[in-house]
Amino acid sequence: MAGRKSQELTEFFDSPIGHIRDRIIVNPSPDIPKNGQFVSLNGFAFQIVPGKPIDIPRPVRQMLDTRIKTDTFQEGDETFTQDIPRFTYTLIKAGINVGEGGKILTQEEVIARDAAEVAANDGF
């Protein structure tokens, strides 16, 4: 499948290009290997390592929100089930690649913008 080259915002996830990206950190969990968990959406794979920031397309982050596991526990004679997220994460910054006027930035433009922000804040 040929990948899209345009940075234009798209409605459907057919490529990581052209989607708003969010920076997250997935929390460590016994269910996630220390060297990372591969997640895939429509054939595009991402390796998410617990405790390390990653910029992922928003549709992938939203897909993580749908990944649940059901825990069953018992209190006395009653059995209860509870749906809990399989991946818990901290959202560091939404729209990490959105520039002025809502333009989707390239990775190089994001790096340059972030470097300029750090320099403007004297490294902090």
pLDDT digits (tens, 9 = 90+) for 67-105: 999 999 999 999 999 999 998 999 999 998 888 888 888
Q: CA triplet 88, 94, 95: central angle to 5 degrees? A: 140
Residue burial 11-25, b: 16+ Cβ < 10 Å; e: rest: eebebbbbbbbbbbb
pLDDT at 11: 66
Residue bearing the bigger pLDDT, 121 or 43: 43
In this structure, are residues 80 and 3 in contact, taking their beta carbons and an 8 Å threshold? no
Where along the chain do its domains lie? 21-120
The rounded mean pLDDT for the chain is 85
| Both tokens assigned to 28 | 């460590």
Burial class (CB in 10 A: 0-12, 13-18, 19+), 91: exposed
pLDDT at 4: 47
pLDDT of residue 3 exceeding 60, the answer is no
